[in-house]
Structures are given as C-alpha cells and as structure tokens.
Structure 1
Amino acid sequence: MEPVTRLTSVELPTELVLMILKYAATPTFSQAEKYDAKNPYASALALCRVSRDVRRAVLPELLHTVLLPENRHLTAFLHALRMQKEYAQQGHHLHFEYAPHVHRIWIENIQKQALQAHWPNSVSLMAPVLLGAESFATDLSSLFLLSGCLEHAWNSRKNIALECSQLPWRTRTLTFSHVTFLTPQRPLGFTPQGRAFLASISHVVSLSHPQAAHMHLLHRNVGLLGPGEHILPPWMMQTSWNSFTALATISLAVPHIELPVGASTFGAANMPVQLLTFPSSAFPRSRDHFSQDDVQVTISHTRIHYCSACQDWEKAWAFGLCD
C-alpha cells in the first residue's frame, strides 16, 4: 500500500485569504437549476459561519444583489433586518449594517395583507435598504412597498428640516416585470414623494410579459411582424413619460427569437435575452411598434426559460443583463 501524500500547508496573508473567500462567495446567478434547487447565496451563507472576520468580508458580496421574489423571502429578509436592529441596540459583535451594501434589489409577488400586522415596522426597516439601492426591480402589484418606503423617507426628511438636502433615495434604474396595462403613475404619481421619485429615475426597463412575448411569437410566425420589428407593451404606450424628467434611456427586454420559429417554441424553450434600448428622446410614443434599427441591441449568451405562461426574468436581471 502506497503512503498517502501530504500537502504542505502554505501560510497566506489574511488579506489574500479574505479576497479569495469574497470571490468564492460572490453569487453568479447563472446556474441552470432553479434557485429553489440551488440557492445562489449558498456559498456565501456557508462561509459566513467560518469566523467573524470571514463573515464581515463575505456579507457585502451576499448583499450586493438581493432577490425577494415571494412573500416568504421578504419575510425572512425583514426578520434579518430586525435581528440587525437588535444587535445594534445591544452593541453585539454580529451587528452589520445591510443598507450600504445593497446595490440591486428585486421584490415581486408581495401581498400587503401578509405584512399588515407589522406594516409600520416593515416599512421603517425596508426603506433604507430599498431606497439605498441604485437599481430596483418589481412588479406593479408590489409597488405599495415602494410607496410606503418613499412616504417614510419623505416624512423623515421633513421632520428633520432638511428641505434643501439631497433626495432620500439613490435609485436610478427602475425595472418592471409582468406588467400589462397599469402604469407607474397610478400608484406613484398621486403623492409629492412619488412624483419626485419618478422625476429622479434615469433608466427604465420593461421585462416583457409572457402574454406579450407569446403574441410576438405568433405575429412573427405568421409574418405580421418582420425579423427586426417589435410591439411595445401597452403600459409603455399609456405612460406619461413627461413625469420622468431625468430619464436618459428606456429599455425593453425580450426573448431573442430567430426565424423560423419551431412549434416547440410555443410550449417551452430556453432563449437568449435581447435588450432593446432607446434614448428617451427617440422613444416611439405615438405608435405601438418599432423597428430594431431605431435602438441599441444587446443579445446575451445566458438564456431565460420561456413558455406561453411564464418567463424566468429573475435570473436574467440578477445576472445584470437587463440594467
């Protein structure tokens, strides 16, 4: 029996070890499995248990992009924020301020009644995190949470007499998923803080609704749309873009469809993401379709799962393909 070869241990500088661990902890969001089967944050969470120093090095990587696609995820995140608040009050060594490290956040499928019992507390906890992120993605049914956070931050700003201070949010990119007809003006445009928020946004992204993408497939298949033509979502045609006074670009993310379209595509398929970006001044406000020649086109190598009833936009957004 041959002897077991022993590896010589190498002493590495602490700074280099932490850099390696931070790299290992960074979620890629590009794995093929569904996130319920393979948590993209699993490596970071495991490394957080190694030591206090490793935890502090890894947490910023874990928090950079936060995905809260269902009530249970938001509830768990709120629980973590409450724990951090208690740690801060106790001067506990586990205290870590989340808000400065959250740069992108996705919140979807949230039901207000699930938060009703702890609504004021939930808003005060979420406001610094949500409004501190440069990029926010949501569906319109979850905009009540954004509205509540804006109201909380606006009132806090007034209460401390900072009328001439900067706006109490950093959000510049606003992404909407699964939107049909309701426009952002409906929930946000009726309050001074909502109007100020819309006026500060520089980039708006629409992730195509499954029904719209399916109709696009049908139109392409029968020749009603050419290879370089696209239909605008109804909400984008109905939105008063004059409210977005700082808007520089508007993007539409759609599945990249190549002709001929096979019959299987109408059931389910994995397709690359195509991002169509307009300068706001060139956005086609007076017609319901446009040519691909009018926009900047980016096609990703990472694919989303498409079917006539659902699209897996969460991964494409998390991977940074839609910003």
Structure 2
Amino acid sequence: MGPDIDFPFSDLPIEIILTICKDAAQPTFSQREKYDIKNPYSTALSLCLVSRLVRRIILPDFLHTILLRRHHSLKKFANALLMQKAYAEKESDFFFDYTSAIQRMWISNAFDYFVYAEPRPPNNARFILFMAHFFSSKTDELRRNISVLLPVILAATELAVDRRHLRLVMRSVQDAWSSRTDLNVGGHSSFPGKTKNLTIIREGDDLDTWTGQNPDFFSDEIKESVFLASIPHLTHLIDLAEESNTFRGISHGVHSPGNSLFFWRKDTTWAYMKSLETLSVVYPHLPPLHDLKSISYAAYATRGIDLHVERLTVSAALYKQDPDSFPWGPPWFPVTDPGNKRIQSDGVSFEVTRDKTYCSQYFCSWEKAWACGLTDG
C-alpha cells in the first residue's frame, strides 16, 4: 500500500467543482425528513454564500420547485423578489431573474399549525373567532405579497395553491390584466400565463369556516377570471383527514367514482375554466377495512404510513357535455396494481403510482409528495 494521497478539493478543475456544487444543491423532498428540522433548501442556501459564480450556477436548480408553506414564507420570498428588483436597477452582479428558473410553486400555509404533528385544532367558536381575526389581519399584507409574486406565479408551469390564496391570485391577476401592469405584456392582447396544471389543495377549504366565507362567494370573480380561463389541467388534492376514506371503494369496484366525486359537481371553480382539458383527483390507495394485514389504520391515522396513491382523471370536455349522465362505468374500475394505468374510451383514466408516498391522515399535508411530482402525470 502506498502513502495516502492528500488531494485538496481546491485542486480539482473548476468544472468538476461546479458540477459537485450543482448536484449538492439539489433540494431533496424526502418523505421521511421533517422539513422543520432539515430545510430541503439548506445546502443550496449555504452554497450560495461560497461565491457569485457558484450562486449563479446553482440558482436555476435551487429555484425550480418552490414551497411556500409557512405564514412567513410568502413574505420572505416577496422580499427576495424585491431585492432582485433593486439589484436589477443597480445592474448588480447579484441580480438573477427568478421568473426564468421557477417552474413549480406551492402556496399554502393551511397546515402551519402541524409543525410538530399536533392534533387538529378544536372546532369551537373561540378558535374559529381567533382564526377569523388572524387571517383578516393578514389579508392586506398577503395581497401585497401576492402582487409582488405575480410574474413568478404566472411563469410557473405547475401551481399548487389552497382556495384562499387562489382567490388572492385571481384578484391580483385580474387587476393587473385590466391595467396591463406588472404582467410584462405591454400592449399585447394575449394572456401571458404559462400555468399548465393548477392543483387545488382542498385542505385550505377549512379557512372558509374560520373566516366565515362562503366558497361560492367569489363565483362572479371565477366566471371572469382570465387566469382560470387559461389553464388546461386541474388537479384536486383531497383533504386526507376528511375525505380519504371516501375514496377507498373506487379502486375496489365497490363505488362509482361519480358518487365519490360529488364535490367536483358542486365546485364552481373548474366549471368556468374555458381551456380546461382534464380534471383529476389524487387520493391515497386504501385497501378494504377488513384487510388488516396490509395496513395499520391506527398508524395511518396517527404516525403515518407508506401508501400507493391513486389518480383519477376525467376528460373535461366530455364531462361538461352531460355531467349527470357521464359514463363512469360500468363496470367501475377493477383493482389496479401499482404502476398500472387503465384508460376508458369514454374519457376516464385511472392509475396507481408505482412508488409509495408517506401519508398520515391527520398530521400530513401533500407538499412533499407534490414536490416529488405527484400531480405531474
């Protein structure tokens, strides 16, 4: 055995060093890691401090998928964009065009109180009053921050957002579109939004109860929304706590998807999306209740468990022709093995993910699975 060779990292060619930094900066959205202990962006943030060259090399991958999932996250990101605007005005080397890098964005803090996997807050009058006051006091600030984020939001091809933030996005887009400001379109008449898949996080609907808002209160805005009218694909992420058991029977041929997807028919959002081609719902693959060998329901409800995920997709054009008589079957979808997809000629497809997702009925949101591409299919 020869002597140990001391080969300093700094002696590597610059191309190799930058490649290593670029790979190390890739955010990992592990289902197992607690983001509040290990921020998925922490390595990239540290590497941004190494040098301006390293920062410029890693920013595109760093910014590809952005998760704004805490009350303070959206404000901090808005401040970062304002800082970039200041850099641009000063022609600083630190300027970087975020809109060219960001492809996917998650905006929802509905589960901010689940940081340490605490139980759902009680549904009592005192708590609802507190939450109504809290969100009311934050609305003006949220509107300002959303307006700052607007160019980035419109440049993202994938947007996941709860209904409360979606309404703010719709309002901001409509105001900007009316005056053609902050959209970088000048005198052009075509809407510049690039969003291909809008994912609505149904967990955010709980905020309607806390704030006393009716989900249909914004129906007129929905009808007029140029933002919604431009989107071809809509996906629902169900509320795991309230709706996951409802979907168990679909994949086992017990229930028709049409019965379990009643909320689609009463949801006014997608009905006015003029460019809509498909609408999908994503939910956990739950076996029959009596099948205790394959899953512990106590673990699913409390600690979490690895589960395959099902995705049901419907042709919006065919569904709109006659919603009451839409051909969901028969026979309804038989049991589908993981990694397989079934497509019916009448505009319905059903698939089960090949890989499992870590789901907890009461302590989990979808953002980690979404960041890994859960709704991209």
Structure 1 and Structure 2 fold alike (TM over 0.5): yes
Query: Which amino acid letter does the alignment assign opposite residue 252 of structure 1?
Result: V
Segments of structure 1 that go 5 or more residues without pairing to the other structure are: none
User: 2:7 aligned with 1:7, yes or no?
Assistant: yes
Q: TM-score, normalised by structure 2?
A: 0.72
Q: Distance in 1 between matches of 2:185 and 2:247?
A: 51
- Gap change, CA 1:312 and 1:158, over 3 Å in 2: closer
Residue type matched to 2:198 in 1?
A: L
Letter in 1 for 2:228: L
Report sequence identity in percent.
Answer: 32
Instruction: Report if the CA contact (8 A) 2:235-2:282 is conserved.
Output: yes
TM-score (norm 1): 0.82
Distance 1:226 1:233, change over 3 A: closer
Mapped pair 1:297 → 2:351? yes
From 234, 243, 246, the equivalent of 1:212 is 243
Could you tell me which residue of structure 2 aligns to residue 267 of structure 1? Answer: 301
1:34 corresponds to which residue? 34
**Structure ranking higher in strand proportion:** 1
Deviates most, 28-37 or 40-49: 28-37
Structure 2 counterparts to residues 218-233 of structure 1, below 5 A? 220=249, 227-228=252-253, 229=255, 230=257, 232-233=260-261
Q: For the aligned residues, what is the CA RMSD?
A: 3.3
Three-state SS of the structure 1 residue aligned to 2:20 is: helix
Match of 1:254 in 2: 283
Amino acid in structure 1 at the alignment position of 2:308: P
| Distance verdict in 2 for CA 1:88–1:115, change over 3 Å | farther
How big is the shift at 1:23?
2.3
Partner of 1:320 in structure 2?
373
Matches of 1:250 and 1:158, distance apart in 2: 31
Tell me the CA shift for residue 155 of structure 1: 3.0
Q: Distance in 2 between matches of 1:235 and 1:162?
A: 39
Paired residues of 1:188 and 1:195 also in contact (CA < 8 A): no
Distance 1:142 1:239 in 2: 16
Q: Provide the rounded CA distance (Å) in 2 between the counterparts of 1:189 and 1:14.
A: 57
User: Quick check: 177-186 or 256-265, which moved more?
Assistant: 177-186
Question: Is the CA contact 1:300–1:321 (under 8 Å) kept in the aligned structure 2?
Answer: no
Residue in structure 1 matched with residue 117 of structure 2 by the alignment: none
Q: Deviations over 1:209-258 (max 9, x none)?
A: 120113445xx5xxxx6714455344312135442222222111101112
What CA deviation, in whole Å up to 9, does each residue of 1:280-309 have, x standing for no partner? Answer: 2454933899533642313141413222x3
Match for residue 147 of structure 1 among 170, 193, 203: 170
User: How do residues 1-323 of structure 1 correspond to structure 2 at under 5 angstroms?
Assistant: 4-7=4-7, 13-109=13-109, 111=135, 113-114=137-138, 116-117=140-141, 119-120=143-144, 122-157=145-180, 164-178=188-202, 186-187=217-218, 189-190=220-221, 194-210=224-240, 211-216=242-247, 220=249, 227-228=252-253, 229=255, 230=257, 232-240=260-268, 241-259=270-288, 260-261=291-292, 262-265=296-299, 267-268=301-302, 269-270=304-305, 271-283=307-319, 285-286=323-324, 291-292=332-333, 294-307=348-361, 309-323=362-376
Residue type of the alignment partner of 2:374: L
Whole-Å separation in 1 of the counterparts to 2:91 and 2:185: 29
**Structure 1 residues 137 and 13 mapped into 2: Cα distance closer, same or farther (>3 Å)?**
same
Residues 69 and 285 of structure 1: CA distance in aligned 2, closer, same or farther (over 3 Å) = farther
Q: 1:105 to 1:8 in 2, by over 3 A?
A: closer
2:62 match: secondary structure: helix
| Bigger relative CO (Cα 8 Å, ≥ 6 apart) | 2
CA contact (8 A) 2:174 2:227 kept: no
CA contact (8 A) 2:310 2:350 kept: no
Q: Give the aligned length.
A: 313
Q: What SS class does the counterpart of residue 292 from structure 1 fall into?
A: coil
